[in-house]
């Protein structure tokens, strides 16, 4: 919104005072700060209102260790605080002409709607079942297909044309070495990335602060990846031609051997809004939590991260960035497969963080160690930029 104001006034005297808004680097920092401040101001009032509305209701899932029962009475739906920060930071500072920004917002708030239905059913029916899995998956698929065929497909050229590259970028390998093109099969592959990430974050959200910190780390990582892939900045490089070395300007994405991303700098603004909103939420969600994120937050954040993986062309690299989320959902899948096939369980309880709880590891220690693993994996993903 403020960027659009700058574009409207840039050729006037008043526009000179808003010149700083043309720089993505400023708007990235500003989006993070705005979403953080809004969350810190609104958070206490929202939590108090949620506590009043949900008084006497149990928001603790039944399939958790016995120690979690002491958390009964803690209000849920705290993810609405995160969503408010994301929306405010993005709308204020992103270039709203960017198609990528609207796809990210659509997926985030579409999946937030699914999470809200799930949370509302849990609260209104006073049980931990919520929205049946088949309905949840169907709605996730519906919102994804609308994003693909409604926003990311050009229908004006006769045959439909996807407005997103269907080529894959392989971690640690430059795009000019290997850049396989999936064609229309990319739509199915993208569905696995987005829906899988959304459900993985949802499963991870089982301890105070466990899901939000890796989400912030992932958003920060995507901010860097989106910016370098979407900026028009050129770097100096030496090119040898006919035995003569010349210093030439090379686009940053070409120099790093990654795929260019249309609207990448604006996606970095969206990532920054997630980071700021996440920090403000962690203030209230840190152990012992004053509020739970709820599915309205976890499904939305997972959808946002999965969408960022697609739009930034880091679908495979996201497996490294989201290693904590991936380990959590794989632990559930392996547990179910093992029990159905052999009648035996691999873990004491799935997802993985409950297994460590039942081994006697203190909840704060599990949380912080998962955070550390998330930071290490994000660092590895960023290192892939130069190791190409």
Q: Residue ranges of the alpha helices (H) in the chain? A: 2-9, 13-16, 24-53, 79-93, 99-125, 133-146, 185-204, 212-230, 252-256, 264-285, 295-311, 318-321, 323-342, 352-358, 363-386
pLDDT at 244: 52
N-to-C CA span, the chain: 37
In terms of Cα–Cα distance, which of 129, 301, 319, 287 is closest to 216?
Answer: 301
Cis status of the peptide bond prior to 354, with omega within 30 of 0: no
Burial-class residue 232 by CB neighbours within 10 Å (0-12, 13-18, 19+): exposed
Low-confidence ranges of the chain (pLDDT < 70): 55-64, 66-70, 127-128, 233-250, 388
DSSP label at residue 258: -
**Prediction pTM value:** 0.92
- In tens, the pLDDT along 32-41 reads 999 999 999 9
Output b/e per residue, 178-204; b: 16+ Cβ within 10 A: ebeeeeeebbeebbebbbbbbbbbbbb
Widest pairwise Cα distance in the chain: 79
User: Given this model, what pLDDT does residue 193 score?
Assistant: 98
Which pLDDT score, from 0 to 100, does residue 59 have? 63
pLDDT of residue 18: 81
pLDDT tens-digit readout, 189-213: 999 999 999 999 999 999 999 999 9
| 245, 251, 256, 262 alpha-carbon torsion, rounded to 10° | -160
Per-residue pLDDT tens digits for 44-91: 999 999 998 886 565 666 666 766 666 777 899 999 999 999 999 999
**What's the confidence (pLDDT) of residue 247?**
46
What pLDDT shows up at residue 69? 64
> How far is Cα 228 from Cα 194, in angstroms, rounded to an integer?
22
């Amino acid at each position: 919104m403020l960027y659009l104001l700058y574009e409207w006034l840039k050729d006037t005297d008043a526009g000179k005072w808003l010149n700083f808004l043309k720089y993505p680097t400023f708007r990235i920092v500003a989006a993070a700060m705005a979403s953080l401040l809004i969350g810190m101001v609104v958070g206490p009032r929202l939590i108090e209102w949620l506590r009043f509305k949900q008084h006497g209701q149990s928001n603790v899932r039944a399939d958790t260790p016995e120690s979690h029962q002491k958390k009964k009475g803690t209000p849920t739906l705290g993810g609405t605080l995160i969503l408010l920060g994301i929306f405010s930071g993005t709308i204020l500072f992103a270039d709203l002409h960017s198609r990528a920004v609207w796809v990210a917002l659509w997926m985030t708030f579409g999946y937030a709607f699914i999470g809200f239905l799930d949370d509302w059913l849990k609260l209104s029916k006073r049980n931990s079942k919520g929205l049946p899995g088949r309905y949840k998956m169907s709605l996730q698929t519906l919102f994804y297909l609308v994003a693909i065929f409604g926003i990311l497909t050009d229908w004006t050229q006769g045959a439909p044309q996807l407005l997103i590259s269907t080529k894959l970028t392989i971690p640690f390998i430059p795009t000019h070495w290997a850049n396989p093109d999936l064609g229309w099969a990319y739509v199915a592959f993208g569905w696995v990335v987005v829906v899988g990430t959304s459900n993985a974050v949802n499963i991870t959200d089982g301890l105070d602060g466990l899901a939000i910190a890796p989400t912030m780390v992932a958003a920060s990582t995507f901010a860097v990846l989106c910016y370098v892939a979407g900026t028009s900045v050129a770097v100096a490089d030496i090119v040898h031609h006919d035995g003569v070395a010349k210093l030439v300007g090379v686009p940053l994405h070409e120099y790093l051997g990654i795929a260019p991303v249309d609207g990448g700098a604006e996606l970095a603004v969206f990532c920054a809004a997630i980071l700021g909103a996440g920090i403000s939420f962690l203030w209230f969600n840190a152990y012992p939590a004053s509020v739970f994120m709820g599915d309205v937050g976890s499904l939305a954040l997972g959808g946002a991260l999965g969408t960022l993986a697609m739009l930034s062309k880091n679908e495979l690299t996201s497996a490294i960035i989201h290693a904590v989320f991936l380990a959590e959902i794989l632990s559930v899948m392996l547990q179910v497969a093992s029990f159905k096939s052999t009648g035996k369980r691999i873990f004491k309880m799935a997802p993985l963080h409950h297994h460590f709880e039942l081994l006697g590891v203190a909840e704060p220690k599990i949380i912080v160690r998962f955070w550390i693993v998330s930071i290490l994996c994000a660092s590895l993903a960023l290192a892939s930029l130069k190791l190409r």
